[in-house]
Chain A
Amino acid sequence: SQTIHQWPATLVQPVGSPLSLECTVEGTSNPNLYWYRQAAGRGLQLLFYSVGIGQISSEVPQNLSASRPQDRQFILSSKKLLLSDSGFYLCAWSQQGSLGEQYFGPGTRLTVT
C-alpha cells in the first residue's frame, strides 16, 4: 500500500532563516506531487505541483520554491522566511493523469517568529 511521509511535523524558525520541508511517497511510482499551504485552519492554497522529476509548476508567486530530485521526493524550500510564511504545509500525491484521487500527508506546522 502507498504511504506518504512529511517531516518535520512542527517547526519554529526565525524570520530570515532558510527552510527545507521534505515529503516522500512509498508504494507507487511516477506520482503527481503537490505542496499546499493552509493558513488559519481554513482554505488550502496550492503552491506547487509536479508531474515528474525536475518538473515543477508554481501556482502562486512567493519566496518559496520546490524541487523534485527523485521520483518520490518533493522538497519545499525558502532562502529567507517571512512572517507570512507561517502556516500548515501539506504534501499530497495522486496517480499520473487528471483522474487520480489525491492523498495527503500528515502536514508540517511552521511558525515563523
Chain B
Amino acid sequence: GIQVEQSPPDLILQEGANSTLRCNFSDSVNNLQWFHQNPWGQLINLFYIPSGTKQNGRLSATTVATERYSLLYISSSQTTDSGVYFCAANWNTGNQFYFGTGTSLTVIP
C-alpha cells in the first residue's frame, strides 16, 4: 500500500535551535505539502512542494522526488513553532491525499 513516513515522531528544542524534519514516501508523487497544526487544531499550509526547494522566512523545504523524500528545515526556532508538523502526498492514481503520522515539535524557552 501507499506509505508516508515522518521522522522523528517527537522533537524537543531549545528556543533558537535549528531542526530538520523528514518525510519519506513509497512512490512517486504529484503533490507534496507540509502543514503545521497549531494547538487549536488548525492545519496551516506551509509549503506546496512536489519538487525543488522553497523558503519562507525561517522555514524552508526541499523535495527530492526521485529519491522519495522531503525535508522541512526550521531555523532559529521560536516557541510559536510548537505543534505537530505533517507532510501529505498524492499520487497519479487519484485525487486523494495521504498523510504521514506527524512530528510533534516542542520549543522550550
Interface residues of A (CB under 8 A from B): 32, 34, 36, 38, 41-44, 46, 49, 51, 57, 59, 88, 90, 92, 94, 97-104, 106-107, 109
Contacts and interface: CB of A to CB of B under 8 A. Distances in A.
A101 B95 CA distance: 11
B88 A102 contact: yes
Contacts of B101: 42-43
B109 interface: no
Contacts, number: 62
Given A43-B99, A44-B99, A46-B96, 20 more contacts: A34-B97, A42-B102, A44-B88, A90-B43, A98-B31, A98-B94, A98-B95, A99-B30, A99-B31, A99-B50, A100-B31, A101-B48, A102-B97, A103-B45, A104-B35, A104-B42, A106-B41, A106-B42, A107-B41, A109-B41
Contacts of B43: 90, 92, 104
Q: Is the interface of A mostly helix, strand, loop or mixed?
A: strand
Contacts of A103: 45
Interface residues of B, number: 25
A76 to B, nearest CB: 16
A31 to B, nearest CB: 11
Contacts of A90: 41, 43
B90 interface: yes
B13 to A, nearest CB: 19
Nearest to A50: B95
B98 to A, nearest CB: 7
B21 interface: no
B86 interface: yes
Interface in B80-101: 84, 86, 88, 90-92, 94-99, 101
A17 to B, nearest CB: 23
Given A49-B95, A104-B43, A107-B41, A44 B86 contact: yes
Contacts of B45: 101, 103
